[in-house]
Chains A and B, each alone.
Chain A
Amino acid sequence: MITSLGLRRISPPSKVWSGGWRRGLSGLLPSREKETERISKDPDLDLSKIRNFSIIAHVDHGKSTLADQLMRFTNTVDARRLEDGQQILDDMDLERERGITIKMRSVRMNYMNRNENYQLNLIDTPGHVDFSYEVSRSLAAVEGALLVIDASQGVQAQTVANVDLAIENDLEIFTVLNKIDLPHAETDKVLKELEVVIGLDPKDAILISAKKGFGIDKVLEGVVDRIPHPTGSSREPLKALVFDSYYDVYKGVVVFVRLKGGRLRKGDKIQVMSSKSKYTVEEVGTFTPNMTKLDKGISSGEVGYVMCGAKQIGDIPVGDTITLSGEGGAAEPLPGYKKVKPMVFCGIFPIDGDDFKKLQTSVEKLKLNDASLDYQVDSSSALGMGFRCGFLGLLHMDIVIERLEREYDLSLLCTTPSVTYRVVQLDGSIEELSNPSLIPKDLREIQEPFVKVQVMLSPSKMGAVIDLFRSRRATLLNTSHLSGERAQLSFEMPLVEVITDLHDSLKSVSRGYASMDYQMSDYRPQALVKMNITVAETEVGPLSTVVPRSDAHRRGKELCGKLAELIPRHQFKISVQAKVGGKVVASDHINPFRKDVTSKCYGGDVTRKKKLLDKQKKGKKRMRQFGRVDVPNDVFRQIAKIKR
């Protein structure tokens, strides 16, 4: 089949580098090995010999594998370094397990094509919708994008979303159809889809198998032939677009920039245009993939990194523009900068109250490297001291919590995720609240954030998917049949309905044959009420939620039922109630247990009995006490995961 497609096998290095190349880069520092030889071969700023590009793809469509292959093919990495790389990658299990790219990086490759030496800058993009702003900024840093599509899976919602971002940024896009060697690859069908859904000419698509190394040369040729070279001049005022950054324990903040004008060298006095904060450039360089200093700096059209003594990555935010401070600075920043606002919030509390300090240091450390993580101290009589954290989305939240637990060895209690509500007070003033338990009893109106959602699916699942979305207060905006077996739906719905396991439910009703993506749209007033939960007449603040008035009974019943199932029996009967404005809308109860074991306790039994009670005591001490009721920590997580 492969030969029939006219592909020839390229001889790749014997070792296969498995994914996640951008992590390897940070691991390969410091620059023990000077890459001077390779750098000296750089084209002397002949812009026509530079190509800046990204790879965009749905999760698991093979972006990282293709990136690895491009580096291997251009000898940017050799077999020996690949071995190092593999070791370095070992500690990045979180990213690999989830099969997604959390942070993006860039790498410079030198590529000989028809006796011309090209500088190719590949800028990676995060693969998930939560990070779409970061994706858009890295796309703003390039002139073209490779759209990688899995030939066995076809066009997915995220593919479309990423293509939209690429089109917004005026990029030249060409398609790379990956995994064509798989037995269930449907190359022709996917090419047709490409034409219908995205409007790209299937004839221009390059067919490859990144894993096997087929077609990589064609991809590189495509990059040179189809992607426009950068424009602009180093004589213009400096305009450096910040498209990524990371915090390194030894070097501090490393900022990735694309120069859209001017030059940037060591010793330059620079200014961050949004905050006006000033720094002196300590080092400029590029990743090849080693961190390699460039004494002559970088010029308009090029991509590289800058270090200037910033303390945390939020000091030089992604999307911002760096220019020279004082005379010679640019008057206007590059377009498109916005402050990223968290969309999903939850309370994070240490299970062991003594761990608060540890949690604080850990969150601060994460923040160094995650500008979009938002946090402030939160305290609750039942949960103790913790943080109210804001995230870009559910996945971002999961990643942060998992990193806190795994890398910082914390046991955490997390409350049900919430969105930011706009509460219109009786006096007409508006307050934004992301913690439902703080919503006052008397108010005029609650407004909630709405999103636009696109779903790609097989038409046979359309009914089930529409039902699912309708049950989540979604309005169907548009239906389009793309090809015989592919349709696109767009909806409008409250964000909170999206962040409570919509994605999982979608996967389950569509048997995995649907994908979705969403964007913030606006705030709308809704008939919403705050619902409180009481357990044995004691209010459990962290379980307060905002629900549609019409749905309060059903949701209350569901919540009470789940709590009755999760809270262990006590020696007394426990009532569980859902209340709206002080009125009970649903209730359930937990029957008391009948008896403990009434065994004998003589001299020889004391130690054993005491150990048993100690164990029970320790278990209870780890629980949260609401009035007389001990609630296991896991209850909060289970409630947060409630399936609807």
Chain B
Amino acid sequence: MGRLDMKTAFAAYVKESVGRSSASKVISQPPHAAYVHIPFCRQRCHYCDFPIVVTGDHLEVEKRANLHENYFNALIREIGLESTSGRPRRALTSVYFGGGTPSLASARDISNVLRTLDSVVGLESNCEVTLEMDPGTFDLAKAREFQSIGINRASVGAQTFNPELLKLCGRAHSVDEIYQAVENIRSAGIQNFSMDLIGGLPTQSLETFQGSLEELIRLEPSHLSVYDLIIENGTKFARLYSAGSSPLPSEEDTSEMYRMASLRLQEASYVHYETSSFALEGFQSAHNQTYWRNEPYFGFGLGAASFLDGNRFKRDGRMGGYMDWVSTASKYEDLEMPVEEVYTFQTEVEEFIMLGLRTAEGLDFEELSRRFDEDIAKNVFKSLKGQERHHVHLEDGLLARLTSPEGFLVQNAIIVDVLKNLPF
């Protein structure tokens, strides 16, 4: 084909693809996962920019109780409104209570939320119900309560086992409390639990990171999240440190931390199943996989994000705003969820690729063909084939996945290369 022919053909193709502005059917299928935000925290960690409400350890018991009561009322009202949405139903396979510090809430409040979800949407019998439980916020009795109301998975925010670093991060707990929390969770019968580990903290050395990593492995959680510190605007860290300069560790060191975690954890029989997630076989987070498969999900509560009918909507992160938003609605339709950006074919393709390449499953070209079209699949294949062999693993031309740890380490660049070559 001559230059001009190529151009014409390409233009026609682009037109056709762009003309397909509607997203695939997957986007509008009934959601089967719900995220519930519980915003209360004893204090704000220095790296945190989440929508939270600091209750403080000194807040009067009564005041705190009021805060909790008002919030849970609003939350349950919001979930209740979903019953008038007219959306087709599918029982939930996962519920995730994130925060904030959900373990600060009472088991009764959490239970009310679960019961409401069950009556409005329905919970599958083996639904994965995760609660973030921070060290120092619960005892064995409370852990048992949580277990008894249906919490079958916990996520323990340990972050580091180094006392100085815990303090520097503004964490409200001690190293001992981490061990205590793990013991309580186990004793309460919650065997499936995840732990968090942050790399790249200020002053953190390879040695201290390794120390924390080994401690984690010793505690044998079924699941682990290992990720980099990001200096978010507006946080205390943002005022103290600037990305890329001391006392933040060098790019060399942080990449070594990631590499070390990946190799060491795989050695300890964890599967590196997503960029920042590791699990013993069979303990991959069902909830998070909904995100990475680019499937719809509910979101409830302060600042929570939902993905419904192709609308990624983030609720108000200020308590007053959220309360007003919920209280002025008497049916689902009244809840204003402005569409920031129309979810097009292009958005879906791009997000699908971006999220898919985060996982060890990677991209299935047949699925790309099925969900989108063959040209998209071919295009993505070609882009990935051009990448370094040690970054991208292509299986029989059917699957492409980034390698662990080398491919995951440079995933943004690889994803951008793929997105760049798409005909949009």
- B307: A residues at CB distance < 8 A: 603, 606
Q: Within the complex, which residue of B227, B252, B299 is in contact with A599, where a contact is CB–CB below 8 Å?
A: B227
| A610 part of interface (Cβ distance < 8 Å) | yes
Please report which residues of chain B, range 377-420, place their CB below 8 angstroms from some CB of chain A when the two chains form the complex: 386-388, 391, 408-417, 419-420
Q: Within the complex, which residue of B35, B255, B358, B409 is in contact with A601, where a contact is CB–CB below 8 Å?
A: B358
Binding stretch for chain B, among A235-243, A435-443, A456-464, A614-622: A614-622
| A114 part of interface (Cβ distance < 8 Å) | no
| B304 part of interface (Cβ distance < 8 Å) | yes
| B147 part of interface (Cβ distance < 8 Å) | no
- B411: A residues at CB distance < 8 A: 596, 598
Q: Within the complex, which residue of B35, B227, B354 is in contact with A613, where a contact is CB–CB below 8 Å?
A: B354
A600 contacts B276, CB within 8 Å?
yes
Interface residues on B, range: 35 or more
A620 contacts B416, CB within 8 Å?
yes
A612 to B304, CA, bound (A): 20
A592 to B254, CA, bound (A): 15
B304 contacts A617, CB within 8 Å?
no
A609 contacts B354, CB within 8 Å?
yes
| B251 part of interface (Cβ distance < 8 Å) | yes
B415 contacts A595, CB within 8 Å?
no
- A594: B residues at CB distance < 8 A: 251-252, 254-255, 409
Q: Within the complex, which residue of A595, A599, A606, A613 is in contact with B312, where a contact is CB–CB below 8 Å?
A: A606
A610 to B288, CA, bound (A): 17
B230 contacts A599, CB within 8 Å?
yes
Please report which residues of chain B, range 289-335, place their CB below 8 angstroms from some CB of chain A when the two chains form the complex: 290-292, 297, 299, 303-307, 312, 314
A620 contacts B291, CB within 8 Å?
no
Shortest distance between the CB of A607 and any CB in chain B (Å): 5
Q: Within the complex, which residue of B347, B391, B410 is in contact with A593, where a contact is CB–CB below 8 Å?
A: B410
A598 to B406, CA, bound (A): 12
Shortest distance between the CB of A350 and any CB in chain B (Å): 15
User: Assuming A603-B299, A604-B314, is B388 touching A610 (CB within 8 A)?
Assistant: no
A596 contacts B305, CB within 8 Å?
no
A600 to B290, CA, bound (A): 14
| B336 part of interface (Cβ distance < 8 Å) | no
| B351 part of interface (Cβ distance < 8 Å) | yes
User: Assuming A603-B297, A604-B314, A606-B351, is B258 touching A598 (CB within 8 A)?
Assistant: yes
Please report which residues of chain A, range 538-558, place their CB below 8 angstroms from some CB of chain B when the two chains form the complex: none
Shortest distance between the CB of A382 and any CB in chain B (Å): 14
B251 contacts A602, CB within 8 Å?
no
Interface centre among A592, A607, A613 (most CB of B within 10 A): A613
Q: Within the complex, which residue of B288, B413, B419 is in contact with A570, where a contact is CB–CB below 8 Å?
A: B413
B412 contacts A613, CB within 8 Å?
yes
A621 to B291, CA, bound (A): 28
Q: Within the complex, which residue of B98, B275, B290, B314 is in contact with A598, where a contact is CB–CB below 8 Å?
A: B275
| B206 part of interface (Cβ distance < 8 Å) | no
Please report which residues of chain A, range 545-592, place their CB below 8 angstroms from some CB of chain B when the two chains form the complex: 570-572, 592
A599 contacts B410, CB within 8 Å?
no
| B228 part of interface (Cβ distance < 8 Å) | yes
Shortest distance between the CB of A186 and any CB in chain B (Å): 52
B288 contacts A602, CB within 8 Å?
yes
Query: Can you name the residue of chain A whose Cβ is closest to the Cβ of B37?
Result: A604
B35 contacts A603, CB within 8 Å?
yes
A621 to B422, CA, bound (A): 11
B251 contacts A610, CB within 8 Å?
no
Query: Can you name the residue of chain A whose Cβ is closest to the Cβ of B407?
Result: A571
B291 contacts A598, CB within 8 Å?
no
Shortest distance between the CB of B356 and any CB in chain A (Å): 12
A601 contacts B291, CB within 8 Å?
yes
Interface centre among A572, A600, A616 (most CB of B within 10 A): A600
User: Assuming A613-B412, A617-B420, is B388 touching A571 (CB within 8 A)?
Assistant: yes
Shortest distance between the CB of A161 and any CB in chain B (Å): 46
| B183 part of interface (Cβ distance < 8 Å) | no
A471 to B407, CA, bound (A): 48
A616 to B414, CA, bound (A): 11
Query: Can you name the residue of chain B whose Cβ is closest to the Cβ of A597?
Result: B228
B251 contacts A593, CB within 8 Å?
yes
Query: Can you name the residue of chain B whose Cβ is closest to the Cβ of A628?
Result: B386
B299 contacts A596, CB within 8 Å?
no
A602 to B276, CA, bound (A): 10
Interface centre among B303, B416, B419 (most CB of A within 10 A): B416
Interface centre among A604, A614, A617 (most CB of B within 10 A): A604
**Residues of chain A whose beta carbon lies under 8 Å from any beta carbon of chain B:** 570-572, 592-604, 606-607, 609-610, 612-614, 616-617, 620-621, 628
Contacts A/B (CB < 8 Å), 24 sampled: A571-B388, A571-B414, A572-B388, A572-B391, A594-B409, A595-B254, A595-B409, A597-B230, A601-B275, A601-B292, A601-B355, A602-B291, A603-B290, A603-B291, A603-B306, A603-B307, A604-B303, A604-B314, A607-B312, A613-B350, A614-B350, A617-B419, A620-B416, A620-B420
Sorted from nearest, which 10 A-B pairs have the closest CB atoms? Answer: A596-B412, A604-B305, A594-B255, A571-B410, A595-B255, A595-B409, A571-B413, A616-B416, A617-B419, A600-B227
